[in-house]
């Protein structure tokens, strides 16, 4: 019997994906996890009825979450990934030779273990890199209590449902600010502005109260159904998202011009060019 798996995130909008083969379908300690094969998107991971990644387009999201803040910073040594148990953002972070330590703080051990088993090409050895430290904890507790300070914090979270809801609160963002070095950058998975506009507006509002510069950038990952995905941006250094193209090109060259399939120096600036309906959410 044909099986179709439904994404249930949005009120009036559902997407169904055909599951040619189901590899895993069960409750973990924190959420419901399904892994299956789909002819259009490849191998797909869903948590609590929401697509987290697909092997055919994961490069878009992971490259844009890692390279935009790291090349904007230009000297990041210590990186923190909150969530991100599939290891995709970590993989991209570790392409930067200047990064000497990368901490992954993930609440659900099962996501890491099952991603290693069913998506080894996503983390591509990043979890075993000597610069990597894995912490199994709630991100809100980690940023509130850590003694460490980071140059860049990337919040690769689920949506504001289940264990991910706390990662969209002002308390959590204040904890991130606490855990950042001066001039550090916070970027957050902030949903699809067309369908989750109020969520983006609220997060940017919190950023505005906590940081000197707040905005968002965009990229489109086809399996995040509903248009562009937004990445929240917060820092005290207003120059970081306004670098000239030549500056980013020089930094990319210095980093060894490693292979990418979506991010490019010119995409760095372009990603911050927001269409009016999103600009109105971000600049309210």
Q: Which residues are catalytic?
A: 156
Of 25, 37, 98, 138, the one binding ligand SAM by CB under 6 A: 138
Of 34, 79, 93, 107, the one binding ligand SAM by CB under 6 A: 107
Binding to ligand SAM by residue 108, rule CB under 6 A?
Answer: yes
Among the listed residues 152, 135, 4, 139, the one whose alpha carbon sits nearest the alpha carbon of residue 65: 152
Binding to ligand SAM by residue 106, rule CB under 6 A?
Answer: yes
CB of 160 to ligand SAM, least distance (A): 10
Q: Mask of contacts with ligand SAM, 142-181, x by CB under 6 A?
A: --------------xxx----xx-xx--------------
CB of 137 to ligand SAM, least distance (A): 7
Binding to ligand SAM by residue 111, rule CB under 6 A?
Answer: yes
Instruction: Please state the φ and ψ torsions of residue 223, each to the nearest 5 degrees.
Output: -85, 5
Nearer of residues 59 and 252 to ligand SAM, judged by Cβ: 59
With helix as H, strand as E and coil as C, how does 72-133 read?
A: HHCCCCEEEEEECCCCHHHHHHCCCCCCCEEEEEECCHHHHHHHHHHCHHHHCCHHHCCCEE
CA distances in angstroms from 122 to 11, 45, 218, 245, listed in the order given: 30, 12, 22, 29
Strand partners, 81: 104, 154
Three-state DSSP class for 50? strand
CB of 127 to ligand SAM, least distance (A): 13
Give the integer Cα–Cα distance in Å for 55 and 183: 34
CA distances in angstroms from 82 to 9, 66, 242, listed in the order given: 21, 12, 25
Nearer of residues 59 and 71 to ligand SAM, judged by Cβ: 59
The interface region with ligand SAM, picked from 47-55, 143-151, 234-242, 272-280 by CB under 6 A, is 47-55
The interface region with ligand SAM, picked from 13-21, 36-44, 76-84, 207-215 by CB under 6 A, is 76-84
Give the integer Cα–Cα distance in Å for 135 and 174: 20
Contact residues for ligand SAM, defined by CB under 6 A: 47, 52-53, 61, 82-86, 105-108, 111, 138-139, 156-158, 163-164, 166-167, 189
């Amino acid at each position: 019997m044909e099986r179709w798996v439904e994404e249930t995130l949005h009120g009036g909008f559902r997407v169904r994906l055909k599951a040619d083969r189901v590899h895993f379908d069960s409750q973990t300690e924190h959420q419901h996890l399904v892994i299956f094969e789909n002819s259009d998107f490849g191998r797909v991971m869903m948590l609590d009825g929401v697509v987290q990644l697909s092997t055919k387009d994961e490069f878009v999201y992971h490259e844009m979450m890692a390279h935009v803040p790291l090349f904007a910073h230009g000297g990041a040594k210590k990186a923190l990934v909150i969530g991100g148990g599939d290891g995709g953002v970590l993989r991209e972070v570790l392409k930067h030779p200047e990064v000497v330590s990368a901490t992954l703080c993930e609440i659900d051990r099962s996501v890491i273990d099952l991603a290693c088993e069913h998506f080894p090409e996503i983390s591509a050895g990043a979890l075993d890199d000597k610069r990597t430290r894995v912490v199994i904890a709630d991100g809100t507790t980690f940023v509130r209590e850590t003694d460490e300070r980071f140059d860049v914090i990337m919040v690769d979270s689920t949506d504001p449902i289940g264990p991910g809801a706390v990662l969209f609160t002002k308390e959590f963002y204040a904890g991130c600010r606490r855990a950042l070095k001066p001039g550090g950058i916070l970027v957050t998975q902030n949903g699809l502005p067309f369908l989750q506009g109020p969520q983006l507006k609220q997060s940017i509002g919190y950023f505005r109260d906590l940081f000197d510069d707040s905005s968002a950038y965009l990229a489109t990952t086809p399996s995040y159904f509903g248009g562009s995905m937004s990445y929240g941006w917060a820092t005290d250094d207003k120059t970081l998202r306004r670098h000239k193209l030549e500056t980013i090109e020089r930094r990319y060259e210095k980093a060894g011009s490693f292979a990418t399939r979506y991010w490019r120096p010119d995409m760095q600036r372009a990603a911050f060019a927001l269409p009016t309906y999103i600009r109105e959410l971000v600049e309210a």
